[in-house]
A and B are shown apart, each in its own frame.
Chain A
Amino acid sequence: MDQILQLLWLVPVLPLIASVILVSRPGWSRRRAHSVAIGALGFSGIISLLAFMKTLGADPATTAREVVTVTWFQMGVAPLQIGWVLDPLTAVMLTMVTFVGTLIFIFSTGYMASDERYRLFFAYLSLFAAAMLGMIISNSLLLLFICWELVGVASYLLIGFWAHKPSAAAAAKKAFITTRIGDIGFFIGMLWLASSSGSLLFFDNGSGCLEENALGLLGSQVTILGLALSTAISLLILWGAMGKSGQFPLHVWLPDAMEGPTPVSALIHAATMVAAGVFLMARLYPLMAAGATGTDDAFPVTGALIATTFVGSITALLGALIAVAQTDIKRILAYSTVSQLGYMMMGLGTGGPAVAMFHLITHAFFKALLFLGAGSVIHGCHDVQDIRRMGGLKGAMPVTFATYAIGMLALAGFPLLFAGFWSKDAILHSTHTWSVSHLPYWIGLIGAFLTAFYMTRQMFYVFFGGNRLNESEAESHPVPPPHESPAVMTWPLIILAAGAVLLGFIGTPAFPWFQGYIDRAPSTLSLSALFESGTLSVMILSSLVGLGGIGLAYLFYRPIAFRPNQQVDPLQRRLPRFFDLATHRFWIDELYDKTIVAAVGALALVSDLIDRKIVHRIVECVRRAVQGIAWVTRFTDEHLVNGAFDRSCDGFRWGARQGARLQSGQTQRYLKIVGSSLVGLVLVLIWISRS
């Protein structure tokens, strides 16, 4: 099985090749184009699965983490090395991304069937997959950063795929710029880490920057503000992860990113890319935890981890609050994603990478399911996205309804049966036992309540009651009735739904296999662990909270289903102030517009003035000077050199009239120059050696 490690580079390279082929072959048929893209990703998936199996059989102590290092190029004494790593974290993430990705690719063949730039869409999707997979296997901070940026570029291209819509173009720009703001932190952190640990490789037989030697050093050094060096670097990298993973205050781009085609939202803005920040934190967890105080704790506590936890908590609550009042089916899911990413960060801060990764994986399944379901709904409703205009789709779209319900129950944390319950429970459990503060725990519970509430609200609006597609007076021509999506779109839904149920059972408290796998510790089956007091109370409380949310929403929104002309949201009637605030997303976008965007705009204006009035003048001067030199050179060449030579050559020419008539005379001039330079150079050398 060792070949798998050596072949791991193929996982990102295959989709990359597919992407290049698709871009350079615009004439291909659609069928051929999507076959290439799906085939490449599917093959990557097979390799990933083999790699996953290899890590399953690996001995936790010795072979669970293996690296391959290649020298990119030698610069001075220090070779710049890049490489890849195979460990449980990589393997499980690769398997998830390729599996969910393949399903989403298949779904896209149906969803994008009528788009003119079909091939380009698959080229971009493949590019995205390549960058994402490259990021996952990377064993070098530099390679990871390159892929991280490529992921951003691919996301930019895909959000703006329908660039003819101004809102899509603006959303693409917003996403790119906002994540770039985060990347600055990541970049500085990377440089700092590289310069203080002397290595960009994560794991390198003891000399990598995430191994004990370097960590000990980083954890013990103190830098500005009294922070440990490792904490300072971790905070910078956290900033980068916050940008990519849509954490408050950099979350504003993610809901706007829903302007992209829905499969893109499912792949990038639910399952994979936004999870990249969480993945990065999980990968760098040793750094986050370096220099932890009090080793008797179950989980280390450091400044960076505390910051991560609170950023996650705020985001989890904020996202859930906003989602309650949204009316666009995709935006609700987008804020829900923001909120769930907050949970992952919370889990990472309090319970380590295993907890966060568990929720990441289950979330990828049920959120991809929900997004694809939303895509199916939008497809069936002829591109209507407003849930107030839907309703009654239960009958028209039975498969979509059933699978969407599973996704919704998983997200809402319906007890015992669904994956989301177990993974969210793991997070709540670890926040419960966190030694610093209980605040995240209570926030988590409130968030869980809100999640159940807004998802149930959405279900009632979309699937129950009568259909409201043609009720709006503004609509001049009637929209045809909704229809179920083709099989190529429903089958991925069914497969994902199965995952959204079953995946939970790999990480229940009774059998925490997943946690053991990620942490590389053996795990055993013990049903009694379910009934330990701490575990059980958290489980019961979170079940009650989830059920409470569902029940409250049932009371509020069930009438909607039977009273089609309901114009005002029931929640709006009861809490008008809060609803207004949430509808406007707490005015955060507007705040940014008025402050940061305005400041940057002013700065741009000033820079533009400086550029035009001062820099331009300087450049102009240089240009004139160079032009002048060129002109002088030409002038001397044409008039002085030629002239002088012509005259001085006259004598020579006279003697060689015959040759001069045959040749242009230039050759002689050439020879003369050569001869005189010989004499000149000899004289120079002799003169220097004498002096």
Chain B
Amino acid sequence: MTPVDYSRLLLLLAPEMILVITALAVLAADLIWARDLKDRNRHTIAFSITLFGSLAAVASLMMGTPDPAGATQWLTLGGATTTVKIGLIALTLSALAISTRSPLTSHIGELYLLTLLATVGMLFMASANHLLLAFIALELVSLSFYILVALYRHHKPAAEGALRYFLLGGVSAGFTLFGLSFIYGATGSMAFDQISQQLDGSPPSPLLIVGMVALVIGFGFKIAAVPMHLWAPDAYQAAAPPVGALIASASKLASFYLFARIWTVVLADVAGRGADSSLSAGWLILLAILAAASLILGNVAAIAQTSLKRLLAYSAIAHAGYILIGLMGEQADGIAAVIYYLVTYGLAIVGAFALVLLVEGSDGSDQITAFAGFHRRYPLESFCLLIFILSLAGIPPLAGFFGKFYLFAAALKSGLASNLLFALVVLAVAMSAVSLYYYLKVLKQAYVVPSPNTARRRSDPVLRVVVILMAIGVVALGCFPDILVGDLVADLK
């Protein structure tokens, strides 16, 4: 192992470094100067610093990628990874922007510190080219999230939800580590490219099988795929809406991207990935089981929900199922589709959580019935809700439609185990028809169900700006999907 040149490493990790410094600066500013100000002003100060730092990080990402020579066994940089990182920072920023208007906590400095640390963790997840680094990054994200959920002290179930989230998350981390150690045992390495060199296309040994399954379980927890989904509804409901938005959007993007990289780079040469289309063994069947179970359970269980947060949680489970299908498409097209899907899904879900926050703030309830008469109270916001929900349901020309379209097209095009994938796509299409039912239930409340509560109100300008921006993003990416997908496909090829 060659000695690491740390000054070069700092240069390579400039965006992450900027975010760490920003996190510390926010904490310091909040603790030293802003302690005695009103919460709203503290938020303004903290958010301004965060915005500045994030923009600097994005700028350093956009300026181009230094040559990662010498650090390739640890890091991957440039190309699609840069796109993912920019997406992560953008989604985090929008979630933070809503949290400035949430009565989440009075520990404002800590809120920003934890969120930014989680973001740093997610950036590392996107960049990781080494299983150990990936694991540490994953843990940084998870630990920050446990605390963020617990920070919502005005909300009674928050502590319980956070503890449950922590327990399950801890166990899943255990599984991940367990899986990593098995893979290390089977291949003798932890760096992505070295592992893939060790795998020579033969059927996996039982050792590797256990490692892979444990890894799937670990990641399945992060992406809330059945049967590791059980934490999601509780955590979504317990968390404050901004934190829920963060967990649902940015964290999913980072986890899926890492998952996709491990599966396509590290385990690319395990036999039975389906290339021989005989399904002899391997991960394709593993993902297929997860995807099918997530699709069915997520969509069916969502029908019975009365809380919008829980409904979004179950729909997130279902969406994990759709994305897994794209992941099975496995080539550049599939990964590009997954990223596009997650970015657009993230936009819609952050917007939806912002509206949950709006209604929770004014009516104190996250029930779907609290949305009755919403379009009379907030016509503009209600129109945005329409856009988000229809995008989640996959109605053209919104981004959600093209997301699903690309996922399914990538899966069908891949030529792997075509019968299995075809059956899955059919199931997914059928299930997205089912999903229309519960999505439209929300819209029915907002637009059709009469409510005594119809006086026109003005929402907070910050919330409104975030919601409108997200809606514009969903429509724009829907009308012009190529601005994202074209580059991604080119980068990944």
Contact = CB atoms under 8 A, between A and B. Distances in A.
Interface of A: 24, 71-76, 79, 626, 629-630, 633-634, 663-664, 666-667, 669-671, 673-674, 677-678, 681-682, 684-686, 688-689
A73 B396 CA distance: 14
B167 interface: yes
A24 B172 contact: no
B210 interface: yes
Contact of B230 (A74, A634, A673): A673
A689 B272 contact: yes
Contacts of B289: 681, 684
Given A674-B227, A685-B209, A630 B300 contact: yes
23 contacts: A72-B480, A73-B480, A74-B482, A76-B413, A629-B300, A630-B300, A630-B303, A633-B301, A667-B164, A670-B231, A674-B175, A674-B217, A674-B227, A674-B228, A674-B230, A678-B214, A678-B217, A682-B213, A685-B212, A685-B285, A688-B281, A688-B285, A689-B272
A670 B168 contact: yes
Nearest to A685: B209
B167 A671 contact: yes
Contacts of A72: 480, 482
A674 B285 CA distance: 18
Interface of B: 160, 163-164, 167-168, 171-172, 175, 203-204, 206, 209-210, 212-214, 216-217, 221, 227-228, 230-231, 272, 279-282, 285-286, 289, 300-301, 303-304, 380, 402, 409, 413, 434, 480-482, 485-486, 489
B434 A626 contact: yes
B209 A630 contact: no
A71 B482 CA distance: 7
A671 B171 contact: yes
Contacts of A686: 206, 209
Given A630-B304, A684-B289, A688-B281, A74 B213 contact: no
Contacts of A685: 204, 209, 212-213, 281-282, 285-286
Contacts of A24: 380
B203 A73 contact: no
B168 A667 contact: yes
B164 A663 contact: yes
A640 B221 CA distance: 25
Given A24-B380, A630-B300, 17 more contacts: A72-B480, A73-B485, A74-B482, A76-B409, A671-B171, A674-B217, A674-B221, A678-B217, A681-B216, A681-B217, A684-B285, A685-B213, A685-B281, A686-B209, A688-B281, A689-B209, A689-B281
A689 B286 CA distance: 12
Nearest to A71: B482
Nearest to A26: B379
Interface SS of B by simple majority: helix
A73 B213 CA distance: 37
B486 A74 contact: yes
Q: Enumerate the 8 nearest inter-chain pairs by beta-carbon distance, A residue then B residue, closest first.
A: A689-B281, A670-B230, A677-B227, A73-B482, A73-B481, A681-B213, A688-B281, A685-B209
Nearest to B434: A626
Contacts of A663: 163-164
Contacts of B172: 674
Contacts of B303: 630
A186 B213 CA distance: 56
A673 B482 contact: no
A673 B163 CA distance: 18
B122 to A, nearest CB: 23
A667 B217 CA distance: 16
Contacts of B486: 71, 73-74
Interface SS of A by simple majority: helix
Contacts of A633: 300-301
B106 to A, nearest CB: 27
B210 to A, nearest CB: 6
A681 B286 contact: yes
A547 B352 CA distance: 71
Contacts of A689: 203-204, 209, 272, 280-282
Contact of B227 (A75, A629, A634, A673): A673
Contacts of B281: 685, 688-689
Contact of A688 (B206, B227, B228, B279): B279
Contacts of A71: 482, 486
B304 to A, nearest CB: 6
B36 to A, nearest CB: 37
Nearest to A629: B300
Nearest to B297: A633
Contact of A634 (B221, B286, B304): B304
Nearest to A682: B213
A17 to B, nearest CB: 13
A626 B430 CA distance: 12
Contact of A671 (B163, B168, B280): B168
A676 B285 CA distance: 18
Interface-centre pick from A76, A664, A670, A671 (highest chain B CB count, 10 A): A670
A667 B165 CA distance: 9
Contacts of B203: 689
Contacts of B167: 667, 671
Contacts of B230: 669-670, 673-674
Contact of B485 (A74, A634, A667, A681): A74
Interface-centre pick from B172, B203, B209, B489 (highest chain A CB count, 10 A): B209
A73 B163 CA distance: 45
A640 to B, nearest CB: 15
A303 B468 CA distance: 53
A76 B489 CA distance: 12
Contact of B175 (A626, A629, A678): A678
Contacts of A626: 434
B425 to A, nearest CB: 16
A72 B482 CA distance: 6
Nearest to B296: A633
A130 to B, nearest CB: 15
Contacts of A682: 209-210, 213
A634 B302 CA distance: 12
Nearest to B208: A685
A663 B485 CA distance: 46
A501 B413 CA distance: 63
Contacts of A674: 168, 171-172, 175, 217, 221, 227-228, 230
Nearest to B281: A689
Contacts of B227: 673-674, 677
Contacts of A684: 285, 289
Contacts of B380: 24
Nearest to B216: A681
Contacts of A75: 409
Nearest to B211: A682
A71 B281 CA distance: 41
A677 B272 contact: no
Nearest to A662: B163
Contacts of A666: 164
A582 to B, nearest CB: 47
A661 B344 CA distance: 42
Nearest to A634: B304
Nearest to B283: A685
A677 B212 CA distance: 13
A663 B160 CA distance: 8
B217 A677 contact: yes
A684 B283 CA distance: 11
Contacts of B213: 678, 681-682, 685
A629 B214 CA distance: 31
A314 B217 CA distance: 75
B449 to A, nearest CB: 20
Contacts of A76: 409, 413
Contacts of A667: 164, 167-168
A671 B228 CA distance: 9
Interface-centre pick from B214, B231, B281, B282 (highest chain A CB count, 10 A): B281
A634 B297 CA distance: 11
A71 B206 CA distance: 48
